[in-house]
């Protein structure tokens, strides 16, 4: 079965520091991978998605993620954290033949002034 | 416009009440979804509608009853809920289901802001 594992339920970084949120997937077929962000008391917003067109995917708000098949990873990064990046981040996977998205357990990102 | 709207924003109901959650999108999407999200947990899929027909029911208790009156609207009727049903209910829509011949596999799901439900 397809799944994603997010390492670290809580990540705290200083403002201006690199943000790295980890996601590993398990899949026997090429996966379709997504990163969503959820701000407090809001719904989910798509940050970026991997479509197999390019291994380095750029998303909104300066985030990007790199698909590494050899490591079965799809980590999310941002060079310089802003206070407004504080939120919950979900990695998700979907098979090519299914409509169901499987979400990871989420990582809460805190930004220190 | 990639907006999915949900009403009400907050809902408090007793265990004997009947209430409904409403979701609306005007993006021409033909697939709509209900998710349930407990605090500090990821969303869990409840139902999927495709072309106004129920496509997936993730073994949801019958006290939750979905309805898709037209391609833009999705309702979730609630009856005899339990306190453990208190959660954030999220609606989402996508152009298609991602695996039919008319839509790309990477079809994106757009989420609404959710309805915060409290069952007393």
| Per-residue pLDDT tens over the stretch A3-44 | 899 999 999 999 999 999 999 998 766 678 899 999 988 899
Residue A70 per-residue DSSP state: G
User: According to the model, what pLDDT value does residue A96 have?
Assistant: 58
Distance from CA of A7 to the nearest CA of B (A): 14
CB of B94 closer than 8 Å to CB of B107:
yes
User: According to the model, what pLDDT value does residue B100 have?
Assistant: 56
Reported confidence tier of residue A94, pLDDT bands at 50, 70, 90: confident
Closest CA to A91 of A110, A81, A77, A71: A77
Residue linked to tokens 């924003």: B9
> Can you spell out the DSSP letters for A24-61?
EEE-SS--EEEEEEE-TTS-EEEEEEE-SS-SEEE-GG
User: According to the model, what pLDDT value does residue B89 have?
Assistant: 97
B47 SS3 class: strand
Chain B positions with Cβ closer than 8 Å to A: 4, 6, 31, 40-43, 45, 48, 50, 55-56, 90, 92, 94, 97-99, 105-106, 108-114, 116
Mean pLDDT of A43-67: 90
B87-101 residue pLDDT tens:
999 999 988 766 555
What percent of chain A is modeled with pLDDT above 90? 69
Residue linked to tokens 């999927």: B48
Mean pLDDT of A43-51: 90
Residues in a beta bridge with B87: B117
User: According to the model, what pLDDT value does residue A42 have?
Assistant: 87
User: According to the model, what pLDDT value does residue A99 have?
Assistant: 65
| Residue spans of chain B under pLDDT 70 | 1-2, 97-106
Residue linked to tokens 């954290």: A81
The two tokens of residue B83 are 């306190």
CB of A9 closer than 8 Å to CB of A104:
no
User: According to the model, what pLDDT value does residue B45 have?
Assistant: 92
Mean pLDDT of A45-56: 87
Handedness of CA B52, B22, A37, A104 (dihedral sign): negative
Interface touch A106/B43, C-beta < 8 Å: no
Distance from CA of A98 to the nearest CA of B (A): 6
Handedness of CA B35, A33, B41, A3 (dihedral sign): positive
């Amino acid at each position: 079965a397809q799944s994603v594992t997010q390492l670290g339920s809580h990540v705290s970084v200083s403002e201006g520091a690199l943000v790295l949120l980890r996601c590993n997937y398990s899949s026997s077929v090429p996966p379709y991978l997504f990163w969503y962000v959820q701000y407090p008391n809001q719904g989910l917003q798509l940050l970026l998605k991997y479509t197999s067109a390019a291994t380095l995917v750029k998303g909104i708000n300066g985030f990007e993620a790199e698909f590494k098949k050899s490591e079965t990873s799809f980590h999310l990064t941002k060079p310089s954290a802003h206070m407004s990046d504080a939120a919950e981040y979900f990695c998700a996977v979907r098979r090519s033949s299914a409509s169901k998205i499987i979400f990871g357990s989420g990582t809460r990102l805190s930004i220190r002034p | 416009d990639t907006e999915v709207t949900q009403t009400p924003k907050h809902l408090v109901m007793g265990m004997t009440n009947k209430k409904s959650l409403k979701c609306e999108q005007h993006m021409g999407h033909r697939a709509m979804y209900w998710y349930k999200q407990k605090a500090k947990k990821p969303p869990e899929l409840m139902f999927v509608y495709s072309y106004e027909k129920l496509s997936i029911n993730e073994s949801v208790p019958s006290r939750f009853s979905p309805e898709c009156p037209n391609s833009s609207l999705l309702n979730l009727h609630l009856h005899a809920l339990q306190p453990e049903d208190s959660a954030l209910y999220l609606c989402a829509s996508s152009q298609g289901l991602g695996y039919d011949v008319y839509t790309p596999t990477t079809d994106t799901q757009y989420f609404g802001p959710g309805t915060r439900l409290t069952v007393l």
